[in-house]
Chains A and B, each alone.
Chain A
Amino acid sequence: MIVIPAPASQIPVIELSGVGYTYHGPPPVQALHRLDLAIRAGEHVAVMGPSGSGKSTLLNLVGLLDRPTQGRLLINGMDMGAAPERTRAAVRARSIGFVFQAFHLLPHRSAVENVMLAEVYADIPRRRRRAEAMTALERVGLAARATALPTALSGGERQRVAIARALVNRPSLLLCDEPTGNLDTVTTGEISELLLDLHAGGSTLLVITHNPAVAERASRRLAICDGRLMEYQAGGRGGGPSA
């Protein structure tokens, strides 16, 4: 049912060539300048940069929440910048998982119901949804709080529910926009451990973070400044493949 062709190692999961983005304004703001980037399957990429540098804009483009105003954006080899909305929606539903800084949980639904919401649009049969949502909650260690409302959960627990929701359809790509931005140090550690687990499990991760401790654990780090992207070479663990 998942129709994204399995990427051969030479086809990048994400490929940007000359991608630029301008907010219409007024006044118009050029948030991204002609980016070139390729991320292969299984990479764990952290993007760092000062506030206003264009990180969220980049993630919105990669996550198909917005369309580039310049250049080409390929996901699994398919040009998604020009694809019709229904195709982009299908890719979002089945191949991309999102984790937001603000969690974006529906306040009147329990943890497991929030996870199940992702299954509605991915066309998972109704009778399988709860079981799969529970499996996802188990993966993030929250099975015991499945029936709790978000208001009854701590910040870290809420983010874990959001991660379970991002995971439940087994997307090939997980996009996180400052997943620990609203969390304290201890909880940030837990969440970044969880992301490492997911990466170890084979997911491709693109994580935006201000937190050097979170970025340090990525296999590859990118810096973005004033809408321009550069590979981060200094330090780091393992030294991921450079672009």
Chain B
Amino acid sequence: MAGHRREKYGELAGPRLRPRDLGTEVLAGLLQRPGRSALTMLGTVLGIGAFVAIVGLSQVASGQIGKQFNTLGATQVTVVDVAAARAHTPTLDFPPNADALVSRIHGVLGAGVWWPIIFQRATVSVLPGPGEQSWGMPVDAVSPGLLPASGAHLSSGVLINQFDESHTQNVAVLGQSAAAQLHISNLANAPAIFIAGQPFTVIGIITGDARLPQFNFGVAIPESTALRLWGLPNGQAAQMLIHTRLGAAHVVAQQAPVAIRPDNPTLLSALAPANLGHLQHAVTTNLNTLFLALAGISLVVGAVGIANTTLVAVLERAGEIGLRRALGARPRHIGMQFLAESTALGLFGGLIGSACGVVTILTVTIAHHWTALLDPRLVAVAPLAGGVIGLLAGLYPALRASALEPAEALRR
């Protein structure tokens, strides 16, 4: 009898749900409430969008940081007058021809000495006399080679040259911001300024670059003039900025003190660029970890959104579940239907989110004139990640749906 019965059961294979039918049912289920489906996807769209944008932008940004480190750091050597820094009296250990000595080293593109001149109070004014308004802007002594080496951009007039230096001329080059503050824009009739009561002719206006951005806000005068009027460096010691060819910085740093002071190179100390590779790596790794954590949180929020909506749909559609069971659906068919709905929501959300993320990356990149770097793996993986999130989010609701007894479901 038992065998007979089993034979009959065997003939009765369980009902099948074809993949195409499942697809049709899922699509119909999602489209019957398009507004809700869209809102549910929103979490994943934001999560995946944030993920793609954050990861993509951090890649772009780290590429950008790398670029700046490379062009600035790898081509710059600073020679510091360490003896002067230790000395108790004002000292200058750079000879007057230091620029020329260093320029002989192979790989040097430009070099110049500078030091800040320290005054007790605000010193720069447009008119002479103690009663006039004056500004406390920095005043720096520079050798003729410094401004070209720093990469400063001349916006009008000329730079300090060898003639000014050797004849200790009272000439000054203003940074752009300083010029604006002093209301000097036209150099045609040789405007004058007064530094601690001493008259100077303004011969040029510059925009400082990233190497010495402080020159934007200050006044540069010839080294020899500074020495004549105010003596040796009395605050911060003098230093030399050397602009080298890419890759030459380390060799230049080794040779520079000897080239400048063959008699006593230990008076000077050359700072080769820090090993920026390590620094850059550390910075970007930290950023990426933080950003990924944020993106992860937004993805979890998206997953909770899908889980919540799917669970609500299961409860709401209990009648439909009961009907489908009455029509012959097996528990697994019900479960698969809800799982596929949540997976589809995640997948669509992931697709839209990836698109939004890419658009964000492009917008930011273009706005900053950066180079867009996009890992194609990111664009491929992100929508799939959305699908996986939808799948995981749908597991519990699908289990609930498939466990619903048909008679019970029809009563709801």
| Interface, chain A (partner B; CB < 8 A) | 3, 5, 60, 63, 65-66, 78-79, 83-87, 89-94, 98, 100, 102, 104, 106, 108-109, 117-118, 120-123, 126, 165
Q: Say which one of B3-11, B76-84, B296-304, B343-351 lies at the interface with A.
A: B3-11
CB 8 Å contact bits of B324-353 with A (1 = contact, 0 = none): 111111110100000000000000000000
Point out the residues of chain B lying under 8 angstroms from A109, CB to CB: 28
Contact B410 A89 (CB under 8 A): no
Q: How large is the interface on B (under 10, 10 to 19, 20 to 34, 35 or more residues)?
A: 20 to 34
Contact B330 A89 (CB under 8 A): yes
- The reply to whether the CB of B406 lies closer than 8 angstroms to some CB of chain A is yes
Point out the residues of chain B lying under 8 angstroms from A108, CB to CB: 28, 32
Residue of A nearest to B25 (CB): A120
Q: Which of B14, B28, B322, B328 has the most CB of A within 10 A?
A: B328
Contact B21 A120 (CB under 8 A): yes
- Assuming the contacts A66-B407, A106-B320, asked whether A92 and B14 have C-beta atoms less than 8 A apart, the reply is no
| Interface, chain B (partner A; CB < 8 A) | 5, 8-9, 11-18, 20-21, 25, 28, 32, 319-320, 322-331, 333, 405-407, 410
Chain B interface, DSSP helix/strand/loop, else mixed: helix
Expressed in whole angstroms, the minimum distance between the Cβ of B80 and any Cβ of chain A is: 78
State which of B5, B32, B327 has its C-beta within 8 Å of the C-beta of A117.
B327
Contact A121 B410 (CB under 8 A): no
> A187 vs B14: C-alpha distance in the bound complex, in angstroms?
37
Point out the residues of chain B lying under 8 angstroms from A102, CB to CB: 319
State which of A87, A120, A126, A165 has its C-beta within 8 Å of the C-beta of B12.
A87
Contact A65 B13 (CB under 8 A): no
> A126 vs B17: C-alpha distance in the bound complex, in angstroms?
12
Point out the residues of chain A lying under 8 angstroms from B5, CB to CB: 78-79
> A66 vs B325: C-alpha distance in the bound complex, in angstroms?
11
> A158 vs B138: C-alpha distance in the bound complex, in angstroms?
89
State which of A84, A85, A92 has its C-beta within 8 Å of the C-beta of B326.
A92
- Assuming the contacts A106-B320, A120-B25, A126-B20, asked whether A83 and B410 have C-beta atoms less than 8 A apart, the reply is no
Contact A91 B410 (CB under 8 A): no
State which of B8, B319, B405 has its C-beta within 8 Å of the C-beta of A66.
B405
- Assuming the contacts A86-B330, A98-B326, asked whether A121 and B17 have C-beta atoms less than 8 A apart, the reply is yes
Residue of A nearest to B16 (CB): A123
State which of A78, A90, A117 has its C-beta within 8 Å of the C-beta of B15.
A90
Contact B12 A3 (CB under 8 A): yes
> A106 vs B328: C-alpha distance in the bound complex, in angstroms?
16
Contact B324 A121 (CB under 8 A): yes
